[in-house]
Amino acid sequence: MTTASDGSRNTGARIVDAIPPVPDISAMHGPITRSILSRFYLMQAAWFIVGMLPVVLGMNAQWKAFGLGIVLPGGGFFFAGGIAGIVFGLLSIAVFAVIMFIWWARGVVLGPPAVLIGTAMLSAAWVDGSPGLALMEYAVPLAFLALHGGFALHRRRKFSAARERGKEHNAALAKIEPILREAPIEASPEMPAGQIGEYRRMLDLALQPVDEWKGFVFNDTWQDGALRYQICTMSWNLAFGQFTQLPAFHGYLNTAQENLIRKHIDRKTWNYWYWESLWGNLKVSKNPVDIDNIMLSGFLGVSLGLFETSSGTSPFSEPGSLTFRWDEDTAAEYNHETMLREVVKNYKRYDYGWFPCEPRWIYSMCNLVGRTSLALHDARHGTHMIDEIGARFDKTMRDEMLLPDGRIRVCTSSTFGFTVPSLSGLFGETWGIRFMTPYAPEEAERLWAILKRDFIKVNDKGELDFELLPLGWDTRKPANFSYDQWPELNPLTMTLWAAQEMGDEPVIDATRRTINRMYGDGVADAVSWTRANTVRDMVRTGLPEKWRTGPLLTEAIYPDVVVTRAVSDGDRLDLVLVPGEGPVEARLGLGRLRPGRSYRVVQTGETLAADMDGTARFTFHLPERREVSIIPAD
């Protein structure tokens, strides 16, 4: 065992020899972003000139109010003067701020100009009969120029400060030993009580009929609590649990994952896209994966790939097995591969080589997820979708999304080129780390080390000190728990997931202690479904041979029997079973046995004879938690 300079306990060979330094980034923006921003600033200049024409040409007060109103929110009301004019002017600014938030959150691209034009028209009507305040003819345009000049100066200062932080980070990175280590793929221990509770919650939701939605939360159609995120969080966690703890169990665990994928393609899950496409892309769309919307196609693609990898089955490979049905007459029919071909198509549609979630907003984490969906399919099926988009994807990460301090842009406007700064933070940036380890472990190491320097620290009590940004995702609610509680659990969960993927034991331990202290014992277990290198192993390796071919538990009745561990070494099958509703005679089915071979249940001595199809069934008394081992009898 070795100990890294940051205290991480690691075994095995390093995956990365050294953490690469942050590149010296001398330009504020990459070439693509710079081109888009230049277009935006030209548009802003033209808008300003149009707004100032009534003043320059000496037109009447109504035209001046309208012009000043489109130059600056509330400008026309300030021109009108009086207490009412000031109140309405301030109200116009507030409404514009709200619509800017809605534009980001919902992609309503026409919202900001509509508010500007609408309030400008109202101010023109309001000023009727009044000459207006001549002072405002100068003050409003000067305020516009000062505002944009201030923004530019602030951006320049932030950029210079980020470059200095990058130099400081590089001095520290040179002394930090990489954390990621090669390790054999082995099953994790059985589920603890807190994890079993969340496991059962997910199964209860997933095993109900596909057209029933009891227990799902409908408070949020658009953001973190939306159905699509509730579903994919459960899909991923069940697949991770199957890979790490239950590789020898199919049965209701496979059924639960299949049901969740079918819920993901139900119109209730993706109906939001009709409206977002309409007001964001100005396009009627009854197909949620045709244009943009990586937050559906990429996330669903990962659910498909993780399920296929963890179970070794491909139930969605047949034509039409993924059908997005709008009504009886309108449906978009796909299978796993053809749906991912839409992801590839959308990556190619943009100069960035990345594509939007909300209309015209590109998110780094969503695009990392989308890339992983392709990588999983390539690894299991021998396709080459990453070859089609990978080089452009990596160039964008390096040239457009990497910041001078080594962090990444989380949200960028594909239309206007600017970034939403409040989304970068502990949640927004730790989110993507586990999706970087399969293909860019060096970048994952660097980003993780920098985020630890900027946001998190293990304190003297062995807990986690963490810094959250006051706005944005750091204070959003988790999708996999009750929607109206525990906002800080989101960034802490992302931190835990990143630390687990990296194998950073000190941060894992500290984060778990902090979560349990803040939210109750067992909550850290409830959100823990991975171990070191889980996503990396699932993408690059998949199931080891002994797990692909060894005996399986194929049948158990839920909730009578809760399977908390199921592992095969290729010949024997080891299970841990817990009664879900009290003592029960558990009826169990086995598969992938050697046809005609005899097996023995170690705990009871019962001998089982495998049928010619490699199956067997038996009953096992289960009054409490029991270990069950089935071994060859000869």
Q: Looking at residue 9, what is its pLDDT? A: 43
Q: Looking at residue 580, what is its pLDDT? A: 95
Q: Looking at residue 109, what is its pLDDT? A: 84
φ, ψ for residue 322, nearest 5 deg: -120, 95
Q: Looking at residue 106, what is its pLDDT? A: 76
Q: Looking at residue 354, what is its pLDDT? A: 96
- The CA-to-CA distance between both ends of the chain, in Å, stands at 39
Say whether pLDDT at 3 is over 50. no
- Measured distance CA(592)–CA(122) in Å, rounded: 74
Q: pLDDT-derived band of residue 426, with 50, 70 and 90 as boundaries?
A: confident
Question: Over the stretch 451-490, which tens digit does the pLDDT of each residue have?
Answer: 999 999 999 999 999 988 766 666 665 555 544 456 688 8
**Residue 464 bridge partners (DSSP):** 458
Q: Looking at residue 11, what is its pLDDT? A: 64
Say whether pLDDT at 31 is over 80. yes
- Measured distance CA(533)–CA(11) in Å, rounded: 13
Question: Over the stretch 476-534, which tens digit does the pLDDT of each residue have?
Answer: 655 555 444 566 888 899 999 999 999 999 999 999 999 999 999 999 999 999 999 99
Q: pLDDT-derived band of residue 59, with 50, 70 and 90 as boundaries?
A: very high
Hey, what long-range contacts does 255-258 have (CB within 8 A, 24 or more apart)?
Answer: 255/206, 255/207, 256/202, 256/203, 256/206, 256/207, 257/206, 257/303, 257/307, 257/311, 258/307, 258/315
User: Which two structure tokens, joined as six digits, stand for 227?
Assistant: 């159905």
- Measured distance CA(222)–CA(249) in Å, rounded: 35
Q: Looking at residue 218, what is its pLDDT? A: 86
Question: Over the stretch 316-370, which tens digit does the pLDDT of each residue have?
Answer: 999 999 999 999 999 999 999 999 999 999 999 999 999 999 889 999 999 999 9
User: Which two structure tokens, joined as six digits, stand for 78?
Assistant: 């300030």
Q: Looking at residue 474, what is its pLDDT? A: 62
Segment among 59-68, 102-111, 332-341, 404-413 with least mean pLDDT: 102-111
- Measured distance CA(508)–CA(523) in Å, rounded: 14
How large is the average pLDDT for residues 592-620?
96
- C-alpha distances out from residue 61 to 116, 253, 453, Å: 18, 70, 56
- For residue 550, the tally of other CB atoms under 10 A from its CB is 20
Strand ranges (E), 355-410: 361-363
How large is the average pLDDT for residues 386-413?
95
Q: Looking at residue 617, what is its pLDDT? A: 96
**Residue 608 bridge partners (DSSP):** 599
Where are the alpha helices (H) located in 461-599, listed in sequence order? 489-502, 505-519, 523-526, 534-540, 545-549
- Whether residue 269 contacts residue 231, with contact meaning beta carbons closer than 8 Å, is answered with yes
- Measured distance CA(33)–CA(48) in Å, rounded: 22
- C-alpha distances out from residue 362 to 274, 359, 365, 411, Å: 19, 8, 9, 6
Q: Looking at residue 419, what is its pLDDT? A: 87
φ, ψ for residue 391, nearest 5 deg: -65, -45
- Measured distance CA(629)–CA(634) in Å, rounded: 15
* 406, 407, 411, 414 alpha-carbon torsion, rounded to 10°: 10
Our measurement of the distance from residue 488's CA atom to the centroid of its chain's CA atoms, rounded to an integer in Å, reads: 16
- Measured distance CA(535)–CA(184) in Å, rounded: 14
Question: Over the stretch 144-194, which tens digit does the pLDDT of each residue have?
Answer: 999 999 999 999 999 999 999 999 999 999 999 999 999 999 999 999 999
- Whether residue 481 contacts residue 489, with contact meaning beta carbons closer than 8 Å, is answered with yes
| DSSP structure string for 130-198 | ----TTHHHHHHHHHHHHHHHHHHHHHHHHHHHHHHHHHHHHHHTTPPP--B-----PPPPPPHHHHHH
- For residue 25, the tally of other CB atoms under 10 A from its CB is 19
How large is the average pLDDT for residues 295-300?
97
How large is the average pLDDT for residues 276-297?
94
Strand ranges (E), 343-460: 361-363, 411-413, 456-458
- Whether residue 444 contacts residue 502, with contact meaning beta carbons closer than 8 Å, is answered with yes
SS3 266: coil
Q: With 0-12 CB in 10 A as exposed, 13-18 as middle and 19+ as buried, what is 57?
A: exposed
- Whether residue 312 contacts residue 243, with contact meaning beta carbons closer than 8 Å, is answered with no
Q: Looking at residue 473, what is its pLDDT? A: 64
Q: pLDDT-derived band of residue 39, with 50, 70 and 90 as boundaries?
A: very high
Q: Looking at residue 296, what is its pLDDT? A: 96
The sign one gets for the Cα dihedral 279, 281, 284, 289 is negative
User: Which two structure tokens, joined as six digits, stand for 437?
Assistant: 């380890």
Question: Over the stretch 363-379, which tens digit does the pLDDT of each residue have?
Answer: 999 999 999 999 999 99
What one-letter code names the amino acid at 386?
Answer: I
Q: Looking at residue 478, what is its pLDDT? A: 55
- Measured distance CA(496)–CA(431) in Å, rounded: 10
Question: Over the stretch 548-578, which tens digit does the pLDDT of each residue have?
Answer: 999 999 999 999 999 999 999 999 999 999 9
Share of the chain above pLDDT 70, in %: 95
- Which of 25, 33, 21, 393 has the alpha carbon at shortest distance from 172? 21
- List of residues 6+ apart from 318 with CB closer than 8 A: 335
Share of the chain above pLDDT 90, in %: 85
- Whether residue 630 contacts residue 573, with contact meaning beta carbons closer than 8 Å, is answered with yes
- Whether residue 565 contacts residue 191, with contact meaning beta carbons closer than 8 Å, is answered with yes
How large is the average pLDDT for residues 613-631?
96
How large is the average pLDDT for residues 102-120?
88
